[in-house]
Every structure is written in C-alpha cells, then in structure tokens.
Structure 1
Amino acid sequence: MSDPCPPSFPSDRSVQAPRSIRVALAGQPNCGKSTLFNALTGVHQHIANYPGVTVDKKSGHYRDGDLAVELVDLPGTYSLTSFSLEERVARAFLNDERPDVIVNVIDATTLRRGLYLTFQLLEMGFPVVVALTMTDVAHSRGLTLDLDILATRLNAPVIPVVGHKGTGREDLRAAIRAVAERTEPVTPASLNYGDMEDEVAALQARIADLPAVTDKVSARWMAVRLLEADSEAERILRRMVSNAHGLLDQAHQAAEAFEARKGRSVGDHIAACRDDLAGDIVATGTSRADTGRMPLTERIDRVLLNRWLAPAFLVLTVWIIYELSIVQGYELTKVTWPLLAGFRSLAGDVLPAAGFLHDPMVRSLGLWMVDSANALLNYVPIFLILFALIAILEDSGYMARIAFILDRILHRFGLHGQSTLPYILAGVFAGGCAVPGVMATKGIPDQRARMATILTVPFMNCLAKVPLYTLLITIYFPDTKGLILFYLSTITVIFALLIAKLLSVSVLRHMETAPFVMELPHYHLPTVTGVLRRSVDRTWLYIKKVGTVVVAIATIVYVLLQFPGLSPERQAAYHTRAEAAITDFRTALEGNPLAAAVPDQDSLTQLVNLYTDYRSDRMMVGSREAAEALDTRITENHPDLAPFVVRSRDPNAREAQKALRTLATERKELRREMKDERIVNSVLGQFGRALEPVTQYANFDWKINVALFSSFAARESSVATLGVLFDQPEGENQTLEERMGSQQKAAGYTALTAVALMLFFALYPPCLATTIMIRVQTQSYAWMAFSIVFPTTLALTMASLTYSIGAALGLTGLEMMTAIYLSALGLLLLVGFFRAPFGRTLPRPAYATGTEGRAE
C-alpha cells in the first residue's frame, strides 16, 4: 500500500468567521460521547427525535466569547454505511445539515477501532477535530499518545479530554473555534486504496465535474460509496443528477472487474485498507509499556462473563431492575396518585357541575380525558426509576454484556440480546407492564429484531392480566391452582419466542438486519448528573408524545361506550326511581328547619354534589387538622348547606345528614346502573353481541366479548366489567367468583371455556396505553393496527381450536392445557435446535471486548 495519507482533494469551501456555528459530535458507541456532550453544554440541552424515527436527537448550546455554538450529539455508530438505523440517521444529518465542524470522539484505549469512522468523516470533506477520551485510563494502562504525530497523520487537531472531570474542555472549545474560523483551504487526510486507487480516482474525477453533486457531498466519498454499491449513495446521485446511469454503470463495472481480478469484494478491500492505515497510525503515534497488571475491565469480566456465574449475575441484575422500577416505582404512585386525583378534582370544579342523573357532555368527556391522561401519567415514577437504571447499565458498560450473554439464544427466534430487558419489564412471568417494555426496545440496533420484540412484548404477563387469571383459576381450577399458574406464566414466553420467529420469516423478512458488532466497553462509574438528566429527558419525551396521541384515542373509546345510549323508556324508568328517592328525602326532612336550604331541584343537586365531593376529599386528607380545615372551608363557602355535610351534634343536622346519605347512595346506585346499561347497549356492547356467531367456537358469550373489549382500554377493566355483567342476586351477598361460577356453569360453561379464555387473554392485543406506545416507537399507524389485528386473529384462532378440539375429544380443562403446553414447548425446542427449515439464518454479530485487538 502506498503513502496512506497523500493529499487527494481540496476542501470544497472556505469558512468565513461566523458568529454562530453548528458542531456535530460523532463517535462510536461507548466512546464517552454523551459525557463529553454534557461537559460542553451543561444544562443547555434539548432531547427530541429525528423526524420519522425513534432515534434520540440531542442538541445543546454553549458560548465561546462572542461565538454561539450549537452542538448536536449524533447517534453512536461504528461507520457511515447504511446498515443500521443509527448509521442512516447520522449520515443523513451530515449530508443534509452540513455542520461547520465535526468533533470526532474516539476512546483512546481503542484508538484503532475508532479511526475507522474518522477516515470516513475526513473522506466526506468535513473540518474535523479529534477528541481523545479516556486518556486517563489509557495512561493507567501504560499507553503513551504522541498527539503531534496523530494530528500530523490525520491533518486535524487532536485534543485529549476526560469528560467526567472536565479536563481538556476549554482546549477542545478553542480547537473547535479555530477550525470553524479558519479561512485558508485545508487539504484533509485521505486514504489511498492501493490496488483500487485507480478506479476510485477515475470515478472521483468524473464526479468532481458535477457541481450539483460536489456542492452537497465530497466527490471522493461519493466515488468510494458507489464502488461499494451503497444504495443510499446511488439514490442521492440520482436525485442530484438527471442522468446518472453512466456513473453508476462505470462504478458497477469497475467493482466487478476488481473483484474478478483480486478475488475479494470491494467492501472487504476498503475495510482492510482502513484497518491497515489505522494500525499504521497507532503504531507510529502510540507506544505501550507493559505494566504487568491485567486491566480492571478484564478482571471484572472474568467473573461477570464466566460461563457459570454470568446467568446468576444476569438474573440478579434483572431482578434488581424489576424490583426497583416496577415494584418500588409502583409504590411511589401512592404518592403521585393523590396529586393526579387532586388535579381531577380541580378539573371537576372547573367543568360544568354534575346533574342528578345525567352529566353535561362537556363534563363527562372532560373527566374522561383527564382520567385517560392520569392513567398514563401514573407511570411516571416507574419511568423515572427505569430510565435511570437503564442509564446506569449503559454508562457502566454492563448493558452490552447482557446482550452478549443472551443474544445467541434469542437470535434463533429472530430476536436480539437486548430484547431481554423489554421482556423483563413487560412482566415475563407476572407483574410487569408492557408500556415500559415497548419503550425499552428503543436501544435494539437490529430493525427486524426490534420490530419482532415490539410486537411480542405485549404477550408477557403484565400485572393487569393477573386479576382475570386469578378469577378463572379460582372458579374452575381450585385444586390445581399452582400448576395452572405455572403453565400460564411460562407458556406466554414460549408463545412470544415462536411468534417472533414466525414474524421474522414472514411480515418482517424484508426488514434490514445489520451485521452488528457488539462491543464490550470498559466499565465506568456513571455520573449522577448524566443519569438524572437522561432519566428526566426520556420521561418528559414520553409524556409529550403519549399526551398528544391519547386525546384522540380516548375520545373514540368514549364515543363507542356512550352511544347510542339508553332508550326513552329506560331513561323514564330511571327518572321515576330518582323522583321516588327525592320524595323520600323530602319526606324525611318534613318539619326540619334545614329543609329550607334546598327548596328546588337545582339546590338539591348542588347539595348532593357537595356531599359527594366532600366525601371524596375526606378520603384524601391525612390528618385531623386537615379534616378540620376541610370542614371550616365547607362551612365558610356553603353556610346554608354545610349542616347537611359537616359533622354536627345538632339533632336536626344529624337527621338531615342521614337523609342525605340515603339519597346520595341511591343516586350513586342509579348512576352506576345507568352507566352499566349504557355500556351493554353501546356500540361496543352491541358489537359484543354481533360477535357471538364468531366467538361461539371458543364458547364466549356476549358478556365475555364486552369484557374483552373493555379491557382494551385497561386490562383491569375486564374483571370490573364482568362484575357488572354478572349481577348480584336479590337478597344475597355473593363474591364475583360465586356469581360468575354459578351463572356460567348453569349455562353449560366448563373449565375448557376458562382455558380458552385465558389463552385468548394471554395473546390478546395490547391495551390502549401500549398500543399508543407502539405507535410512538414505530412511527406508523399501520404497525399500530397490525399490533391489534394480528394478535386478535391469533388469539381467537387459538381459543377456538382449544375449545373445539377439547370438546370433541372429551378432554378436561387441565388435560387440554397440559396438551397445549407440551405441544408448544416441543415446537419451541424444534425451532431452536433446527433452524434451517424455518428460514434464512441471519448473520451473526461479532463480539469485541473493550481491550484493543481482542475479539471473540
């Protein structure tokens, strides 16, 4: 190979001294880029998403004298090809936004690997400043860096920095300013491609004569990318040049001739040239002294990645994440929920007052929207803890090791090592939530595996599914509860893996799956500031995005549950009962001087609303002093009505309070019955009846259908709806299990029906909040619809086959459940051990340790 760094092409632009500039921060994953970003920008930063994708877009600002600098933190990427989403996003930003300066962040301990990206940035013609991070770690390992030689070889400033200490920050700012304000043309370092240099030079010369191209991209970069048959580069060329066939044909013919002559692909040759140059620069610009000590990272990995200890540490880590974020985070909702409930009370005070039986549409819809938002905002404590823990795992370096441990197993089913955390957060065996599970898929670099994870995370046993399972097991499997719970808690994982495999070889087969290099970075101690900032930023992003979508979805669900409403006859019946209750109230107050305070219907409605609000507020107060303050406020604001509400020893007041309590109870019952009947007769209720001809094969009646529909808004509502639909017998006080069991068994339902229902519920589409999050993460309404339609079809098919086959063979519920479990487990083992019949084997990733030159 000839001189590796000859001048190859001049800079395309001369920069005038700017007063404001845009700087891009580019580097490979785990190189210390985020820490350096925080050190440069401080609190002046913003997090969003790049348009159309879910990759984080972090930008910040700082001032250097009279110069305003916008710093954009690009996604971590090993190269600027177009394999992964991060690579495409980073390259599109560089080509479209054309930043004034690029700060290339390189881990000094892995300099050779880091230079691979540096060469591509230089080849694109950008002014580059190289920031060497972790120089303190490099020195502790006996590595000496000759910064002058490195800067000469790269023809770019090389600044050593230690991000978490702030060392080198001002030197880096000065270098950025000097490069941005430089007016003389600069000849960037360029790689000579040896045996292929003639082809590159010839193609570069033709492209250099096309101003429409060179005004946007480097001619040499475009020439190299065309020879590599980069599809994105070809699209850019076609967009810029009206007739690009000549250039494309030349590139294809040159590549074919080279491969025929040398017996190796263009891509392999280019990669080898870059690696050779990187090795030569490292050899001349660094020296290493033998310290005689094994690096700390390798010593830790000998324990954490030990064949026998690694699974134990992984399980312990997963348990800690689950315990702190889901369990303890849910405990924190006991603190935040009163705040959300207080906001609901405030909204209720602002909205039009409730009627005696019917509320104004504005009030009912407004409170519905508040309740929908509160249901999502109640997850905020969980997310804050979850994202903080994820940031700790990422910054410490252990997150990459989790993926390393499990990737080879999950890969057999079209998943990824980083699919582990989403499954854990979603519940796996029982107790999680699919919303944070779907959100945690953001870090999966393989697009196909990420989509397979998103679409199968809802199959996990979230906490909201447990009540229905408990109800059905108590009714139909009282003697085998443990075995059925074991089946349910593990069969969902089996289904998720099998369905992920099915999706990856069918609807997801055309998605790109990048040849992924999984680097095991050095262990680092996370900074409190960095962890807190990322936790708050990601949580706020969730609040903003979900809040914009939930309004539309909640409105649709509200309409479907409210209309067409009750018939005139039923409304008249409820009004008659309400008038009777009011008459009883006034009769009870005859001769009571307090009756003068409620002379008409409006004042009576106001009194009942006041009583209802008072009772709600009393449940929220936590001390006697707060209760007394509440009583004082009611007395001052409603002096005429306060004797009906506030506790008193006055006989007239006690008599009035007793009558009001009876009226409020009757009113509450009437409103509940009206609401329940409205649900039954609503569009969703009628739809449930209309589906009986289809669901009859699973032995589901309209009541079960309505309960399943209502659970789309929230899984917990399935049991609540069943509690409404299976009414309490007159004069009895039975539990829901007793009512539902007796009524269903009287109708001929058996444990086989319960098995079909539980399997349906396990595979049922995600709840409203999870569906919204799927839309947010995929940026697609089509995938959001697929996440509803596909599981519904699959669940109904499974439930129908379960009941129909079991009934035909005369099997009991336990026998059928056992047969399904063993069949699914056998299929899982078959797919896992024999991969060839089920589709193309995906390329395996390479695993690199954080130590220079070692690979596994």
Structure 2
Amino acid sequence: MKRQIVVALAGNPNSGKTTIFNQLTGARQHVGNYPGVTVERKEGLRRHGDTEIRIVDLPGTYSLTAYSEEELIARNFIIEEKPDVVVHVIDASNLERNLYLTVQLMELGVPLVMALNMSDVAKSKGYRFDLKKLSHRFGAEIVETVGHKGRGIRELLDAISSTAEAKRSPGKEKGKPAAGSLSARGSIRGAPSRSGGVRYGEEVEKQIAVVQSLIERDDGIRGSYDARWLAVKLLENDGYLLERIGSMQIRNQVSRGADLIEKATGQSAETVIAAARYELIFTICQETVHSQGQPRPSLSDRIDAVVTSRALGIPLFLVLMYLVFQLTFTLGDPPMGWIEEAFARLGESVSSWWPEGSESPLKSLLVDGIIGGVGGVIVFLPNILLLFLAIAILEDSGYMARAAFIMDRLMSKIGLHGKSFIPMLIGFGCSVPAIMATRTLENRRDRLATMLVVPLMSCGARLPIYALIIPAFFPRAWHAPMLWVIYTTGILLAVLSARLLRSTLLRGASVPFVMELPPYRMPTLRGVLIHMWERGWVYLKKAGTIILGISILLWAATSFPSLPEEESARFEMSRSQIQQAELTEEMRAEMLASIDNEEAEAKLRHSFAGRFGRALEPVLQLMGFDWKIGTALVGAFAAKEVFVAQMGIVYSVGEADEESESLREKLRSSYTPLVGFCIMLFCLISAPCMATIAITRRESNSWRWALFQLGGLSVMAFVITATVFQIGRLMGIGGV
C-alpha cells in the first residue's frame, strides 16, 4: 500500500544540503515561498519502495535560536508542521561546529537522521568516526554521504524509511537507541519527550524548572510548545517567543531567572546555555572522533592561499567574471541564431495565412505582437542559461563563499557587511531573489542599504538589451570588453551609492563578518544543470506570461489609433505612382521600402505609444534619445526584457526577422555608438522592474523605501546618462 512521509532537510550553510536535496529529488522539485514571507521554499518528491517521500529543504541555518528569518522558518516548520523525519546534513570535516544544530534538534525531540556529508573530505583530513557510539549518543541513525558523487543516498533513504516507521510504531524496534535527552555528560536518559535536552547545571536547571511550572499552569500556552523547551528558549532571550507570551507573571519570572543566572555564573543566561551545549559536543567528539596524525594542509587551504590573498583575490575575481561574460557571448551566439531563425519561419508561416499585403489587425497581433514580442525575448535564452550555468559552477565549487570573504574588505570600507556581497551577486541573476536574500543580514541598516543598491547589479533581464545593443554598434572584438564595462559600472555605482547611504540616511555601525568557507569540490553536472534550469525556467515563464501580456498591450499601444483615412490614402497613392513609373526593379523595391518605413513611422507617431513618447522627447533628447527609444523604455519598466520586444515593434521588424541582423541594422542606421552605450547605461541604472519595487516594499515593510528606490535610481540614471551623452557629444563622438 502506498504511503507518504514528510522529511525536513536541515543543515548549516555550505554543508552540502542543497546537493543532497538535488540528489534525492532530481528534477521533481517545486520552488515557492513560505506562507507570509519571501524566503524561498524548495520541495521535491522521491519514491522509495512503496513510500512517497515529500522532502522540504529548510533554509540553511547554524542554530534554531531564531536570530534570523531563516532560523525562525526552519524552527517553526519543524515545530508546527511536525515532519515525520528531520535529516540533518552535517559537514563531516567540521563536525564540532555542525553538531550545535544537532543538539538543538535533539532538544526538540524530533525523529532524527544524521547525514555525515563530505565524509571523503573528512577522511582525507585524517578523521575517523566511531559511528556506532556517535549514533548511540544522539539516538539517531547515521549515514555517511558524499553528496556531489551521490554516495550514500540509497542508505540515507533506507534510514529515513526506518526512522519514520519507528515513529509510527515505536514499540517495534526495542533494540534501537531512542532519540533521548542528553545529560551534561552526554549519556542517553531513556525514552524521549519533546523536552529532552542538555542539562545546564544546578542554577540554570532551577530557573528552568520554575518557568516550566508556570508554563504548564497557563492554559493559553500549554500544549502550544513543550514546556521545558519553551522555558529554555525564554531564558535564552528568544525574542520571537517572548513576544508571544501574554502572561506578565511568566515574563517577569523569565527576567528574574535570567538575572539570577547571571549573578550566580557571572555570564548571561544565553551564554551559559550555549556553553553547556558546546561542552557536551566537545565531550562527544572526544569520545567518537579520532584524528590520525597531524592534519596536513588540504588542497582547499593551498588554493585559498592564492585565491583569498590580498594581492590576488580581487584581480582573480574580476578575471573570472570577465571569462563568464566571454563565455556568455561566444557560446551563446550560434543557438541564438537558431532560435531567431525558428521564430522568423514561424512568423512567415503565420503570415502566409493571409493574402500578401494584407493589413489584418489579427495578423499584426500574431506576427508582430506575439511572435515578434515573445520571440525577441526568448532568443536571448542561451545567453541567460550560460550566465546561470557559470554562476552555478562557481557556487557549487565553493568559490562564491571566497568571493564574499574577499569582498568583505571592500564592503567594510563602504559600510556594508561582507554578506551583502551574496545578495548583490544573486542580483546578476534577478533582483527579486537578491532582495529576498538580504534576510541573511542581521542589521536592518545593512539590509536596507543592500536592497536599495541591488538593482544596480545587471540582472539577467538586462542581458538581452546588452546582447542587442553591443553587436549592433561595436565590433566583435569589443563585445566581451563592453559587457565587462557595463557590468563593472553597475558594481562601482552600487559601491558608491551604498557608501553614500551608510554615511547619510542609514548611518550606523555594521555587524562583523563571520562565514565558514566550505572545502572546494568538483561541481556535478546534475547539480549545475538543475540550478541553471531553475533560473532559466523563471525567465521562460516570464516570457510566456508577463512578457506575452505586455507585448500584446504594447502592440495595441503602437497600433491604435489607426492613421486617418486621408493619410493612409496619401501613402497608397505614392505606392501607385512608384508602381506605374518606369524604374528598375531594384530602384522600385528601394522606393517602396522607403514608403513603407515612412508609413510605419507615421502610424507609430499617431499611436498612443508614439504620442506618449513624443511628450517625453524634450527630456529624452538630453540623453541622446528620441521618442522611439522613449516608447520602448516606458514598456521596460514592467520588465526590462520588454525593451527588446518593444524596439522590434517600434521598428516594424516582425516579418523582417528572417534576417538575424534586421533590428540591429535599423538601430545602427538610426543611432551612433554613443547613443547605443547611453541606452545600456540608462537601462543599467534606471528604476528596476515593477516586481523589484514590489519586493522592496515587502522586504522593507515600507512604501517609503520602495518609492525612494524608484525615484532615486530614475534620477541617477537621467543625470549620469545625460552627462555622458553631453560630454561625448562635446568631444565629437556623436549624437542621434
């Protein structure tokens, strides 16, 4: 009979938890958000025998004390959702640090499986584990795994199944050690309650007992949490739980108890409780972990001596980013051509449903609005996938953590935390998850400053704009350097903006940087492909939903109202005169094409979009832009990628897509390289898409900061772009 169990995957950041999750679930994953918050929630399914296992990947966390949103979500999921099994993924090469979370999971009394991941790295360092004794000490099954190689996955599934079965039928496995509470000496104390945990010493235990008794007598709290566990957390000064205690008697007793502990021990209750846990962990490690000889410097240590050095760290990082951009353009060019050709043929096929020369609005909608608009965005999918592939390789290899460490030296100088680099780096993919990632920052000032400048990182949505403009105006040898320049410009502006914010509106001290560096490891093909596809799929969904809708709206805005009949008649008369004139076929075709272009421009000028663009033109001209560019920029506020689709509509290249250079030729003939660079510069700096503004409002919990971001970036984009254009024109580089 088929049954389903729920498994929560917990672990420290950089413990290999995501790799284990990918190995367990493969492509059967679903990514969403936890209810009410914007922290990413990953779920996947795995069949094992007659059991369907629903696996939830909890946010990476060092503890369950709820200092951050991630810790709070992980803890609340375990307490409220009550998963059948919690799998704690542990970095076996850094066991003592990882076991702090294990002890806290034990204090919750959950059915636990311990996955000693990176066991190959631990063995290479000379560590040997007494797994039988370690399993007995924690009352949990232990499986050694090597996540990136898939080793131990089947054994892990077996352990999950047996632990879930033991939970359902606890009397069946009497010989198996129960997940019991741990004393100060670490001995198993029999069958567990959810209150099982460390014994903290006489004075602390006395205060725990007093608070626990009050909790057990309070009808409003009793049953919501285990009484002893809640008493410990309240004495630890857990702000989330303290806010939920309505009884002033309990709150006052917690305050008195914490004061008495501090007087008796000379340390805060929080410090004493944490020290007791570490003392227990140290005792267990002394008994169960054996080191063979003096550990030699690992390969990771030797690489880090170069990669994280003061002299070479940042230059190597910049070189790596340059190589990423070179890869994006060089390898992405052929498949882009294939996609463009496929959409051109599709447009031609759809056009053939109507007689040649037909002015059917439905034909225009299908060919110019839908096929031209969506196709103009999907054509850049190879660039997007290659960029995400390169970032996934750097993440899975362990280099990204080093990049954050390296950049902390610079971040601290501009008033930001080293961890701010991670959201800013994610911003190269998309600003929305990047702003969500600022939740890892404990300090609100650091969070606000980071989320306000994240849009200056060139997100994947801007890449199609660069991929259109750079080949149109610059020779092939300049393609990668120009892309590098525009990305570097965004980074420098983000740095300067952050420094300005932290010295004015968000003045205050930053939190010190603390991050564990994982060992280097070879990324797996499966892992990087899953990461690449997850992010690429988000882009495809935007192309098929948001961008499709926007393309239709923009098509309507550029197609209506139609030209007055007398104006249309004038163009028809011109065509008739050209047809009757004695001209060569080549000259006749050239003159007819010229009439077609004049009519298309007249239609656009008369449309709603053209009227709005012309209204903005006096301001846009200061940046070298005309009303056509202005019309496309308005649409780009909904989603940056729409700029490309809109320019295709503006220049009526729906059927001209048969030639891959059609739109670029139009741009090249209408503007100079200076204007092309200014387009990229404005799109880099200007107000991000609507989704980014919305997520900034949600994460900052204030429309004030969201509107400040919108207005500030728009003004900055105008001032910088206008300055660059005017200086360039004075230097004789050229205008429109």
Q: TM-score category by the smaller chain?
A: 0.7 to 0.9
**1:149-208 Cα shifts (integer Å, max 9, x gaps):** 222322222222333444433433332223222234634651223343333333233334
Q: Which residue number corresponds to residue 479 of structure 2? A: none
Q: Map 1:807-826; keep pairs closer than 5 Å.
A: 813=730
Q: Which residue number corresponds to residue 269 of structure 1? A: 272
Change (3 A) 1:739 1:673: closer
Moved more, 486-495 or 152-161: 486-495
Give the secondary structure class of the aligned counterpart of 2:14: coil
Residue in structure 2 matching 1:111, options 71, 75, 95: 95
Q: Which residue number corresponds to residue 399 of structure 1? A: 400
Please tell me whether the aligned partners of residues 107 and 133 of structure 1 are also in contact (alpha carbons under 8 angstroms). Answer: yes
**1:792-820 Cα shifts (integer Å, max 9, x gaps):** 2334456789999x9xxxx99469xxxxx
Residue in structure 2 matching 1:250, options 250, 253, 269: 253
Q: How far, CA to CA, are the matches of 2:330 and 2:690 in structure 1?
A: 23
1:24 shift after superposition? 0.7
Q: Which residue number corresponds to residue 9 of structure 2? A: 25
Give the secondary structure class of the aligned counterpart of 1:129: strand
The aligned amino acid for 1:293 is R
Please tell me whether the aligned partners of residues 763 and 791 of structure 1 are also in contact (alpha carbons under 8 angstroms). Answer: no
Residue in structure 2 matching 1:218, options 223, 226, 243: 226
Q: How far, CA to CA, are the matches of 1:170 and 1:488 in structure 2?
A: 47
Change (3 A) 1:160 1:710: closer
Is there any run of 5+ residues in structure 2 with no aligned partner, and where? 171-190, 442-446, 475-481, 637-641, 653-665
1:579 shift after superposition? 4.5
Q: Which residue number corresponds to residue 499 of structure 1? A: 497
Residue in structure 2 matching 1:672, options 597, 605, 621: 597
Q: Which residue number corresponds to residue 301 of structure 1? A: 304
Change (3 A) 1:739 1:363: closer
The aligned amino acid for 1:371 is G
1:384 shift after superposition? 2.3
Q: Which residue number corresponds to residue 789 of structure 1? A: 711
Q: Which residue number corresponds to residue 519 of structure 1? A: 516
Q: Which residue number corresponds to residue 692 of structure 2? A: 774
1:515 shift after superposition? 6.7
Please tell me whether the aligned partners of residues 236 and 269 of structure 2 are also in contact (alpha carbons under 8 angstroms). Answer: yes
Change (3 A) 1:683 1:491: same
Change (3 A) 1:284 1:68: same
TM-score (norm 2): 0.76
Please tell me whether the aligned partners of residues 150 and 285 of structure 1 are also in contact (alpha carbons under 8 angstroms). Answer: yes
Q: Which residue number corresponds to residue 100 of structure 1? A: 84
The aligned amino acid for 1:499 is S
Please tell me whether the aligned partners of residues 387 and 535 of structure 1 are also in contact (alpha carbons under 8 angstroms). Answer: yes
Residue in structure 2 matching 1:282, options 285, 288, 305: 285
Q: How far, CA to CA, are the matches of 1:488 and 1:530 in structure 2?
A: 30
Identity %: 32
Q: Map 1:385-784; keep pairs closer than 5 Å.
A: 385-415=386-416, 417=418, 445-446=440-441, 447-448=447-448, 450-458=450-458, 464=465, 493-503=491-501, 517-545=514-542, 547-566=544-563, 568=564, 571-579=565-573, 581-582=575-576, 585=579, 668-688=593-613, 690-691=615-616, 695=619, 704=626, 707-712=629-634, 713=636, 762=681, 771=689, 774=692
Is there any run of 5+ residues in structure 1 with no aligned partner, and where? 1-16, 427-433, 474-483, 590-654, 725-734, 742-753, 816-856
Give the secondary structure class of the aligned counterpart of 1:276: helix
**1:427-462 Cα shifts (integer Å, max 9, x gaps):** xxxxxxx66677777766434465144222259997
Q: How far, CA to CA, are the matches of 1:149 and 1:710 in structure 2?
A: 67
Q: CA RMSD in A?
A: 4.9
The aligned amino acid for 1:578 is E
The aligned amino acid for 2:276 is C
The aligned amino acid for 1:298 is D
Q: How far, CA to CA, are the matches of 1:80 and 1:771 in structure 2?
A: 35
Give the secondary structure class of the aligned counterpart of 2:47: strand
The aligned amino acid for 1:581 is R
1:18 shift after superposition? 9.4
1:190 aligns with 2:197: yes
Q: Map 1:234-383; keep pairs closer than 5 Å.
A: 234-235=242-243, 237=244, 243-256=246-259, 258-259=261-262, 262=265, 264-291=267-294, 293-346=296-349, 348=351, 353=354, 356=357, 358-360=359-361, 363-364=364-365, 367-383=368-384
The aligned amino acid for 2:534 is D
**1:33-80 Cα shifts (integer Å, max 9, x gaps):** 233334434454444444565644332323333332212222222223
Q: How far, CA to CA, are the matches of 2:409 and 2:32 in structure 1?
A: 33
Matched residues, number? 673
Please tell me whether the aligned partners of residues 134 and 161 of structure 1 are also in contact (alpha carbons under 8 angstroms). Answer: yes
Q: How far, CA to CA, are the matches of 1:50 and 1:224 in structure 2?
A: 27
**1:495-529 Cα shifts (integer Å, max 9, x gaps):** 3322233445677789x988763111111122222
Please tell me whether the aligned partners of residues 129 and 176 of structure 1 are also in contact (alpha carbons under 8 angstroms). Answer: yes
Give the secondary structure class of the aligned counterpart of 2:204: helix
Change (3 A) 1:791 1:330: farther
**1:384-433 Cα shifts (integer Å, max 9, x gaps):** 2222222222222111111111122024335565766887899xxxxxxx
1:69 aligns with 2:67: no
TM-score (norm 1): 0.66
Give the secondary structure class of the aligned counterpart of 2:515: strand
The aligned amino acid for 2:689 is T
Change (3 A) 1:259 1:104: same
1:22 shift after superposition? 0.2
Q: Which residue number corresponds to residue 239 of structure 2? A: 231
The structure whose Rg is larger is 1
Q: Which residue number corresponds to residue 123 of structure 1? A: 107
Q: How far, CA to CA, are the matches of 1:535 and 1:718 in structure 2?
A: 27
Q: How far, CA to CA, are the matches of 1:739 and 1:383 in structure 2?
A: 28
Q: Which residue number corresponds to residue 853 of structure 1? A: none
Q: Which residue number corresponds to residue 839 of structure 1? A: none
The aligned amino acid for 1:550 is I
Q: How far, CA to CA, are the matches of 1:338 and 1:670 in structure 2?
A: 27
The aligned amino acid for 1:152 is H
Q: Which residue number corresponds to residue 384 of structure 1? A: 385
Please tell me whether the aligned partners of residues 101 and 128 of structure 1 are also in contact (alpha carbons under 8 angstroms). Answer: yes
Please tell me whether the aligned partners of residues 332 and 386 of structure 2 are also in contact (alpha carbons under 8 angstroms). Answer: yes
The aligned amino acid for 2:214 is R
The aligned amino acid for 2:368 is L
1:115 shift after superposition? 1.0
The aligned amino acid for 1:535 is M
Give the secondary structure class of the aligned counterpart of 1:120: helix
Change (3 A) 1:101 1:776: farther
Please tell me whether the aligned partners of residues 471 and 737 of structure 1 are also in contact (alpha carbons under 8 angstroms). Answer: yes
Give the secondary structure class of the aligned counterpart of 1:522: coil
Q: How far, CA to CA, are the matches of 1:348 and 1:169 in structure 2?
A: 53
The aligned amino acid for 1:774 is T
Moved more, 442-451 or 90-99: 442-451
Change (3 A) 1:148 1:500: same
Please tell me whether the aligned partners of residues 52 and 779 of structure 1 are also in contact (alpha carbons under 8 angstroms). Answer: no
The aligned amino acid for 1:301 is D
Please tell me whether the aligned partners of residues 448 and 509 of structure 1 are also in contact (alpha carbons under 8 angstroms). Answer: no
Q: How far, CA to CA, are the matches of 1:21 and 1:69 in structure 2?
A: 5
The aligned amino acid for 1:25 is L
1:377 shift after superposition? 2.0
Change (3 A) 1:663 1:54: farther
1:28 shift after superposition? 0.9
**1:647-676 Cα shifts (integer Å, max 9, x gaps):** xxxxxxxx9xx87x8887666544433332
Q: Which residue number corresponds to residue 203 of structure 1? A: 211
The aligned amino acid for 1:150 is L
Please tell me whether the aligned partners of residues 83 and 515 of structure 1 are also in contact (alpha carbons under 8 angstroms). Answer: no
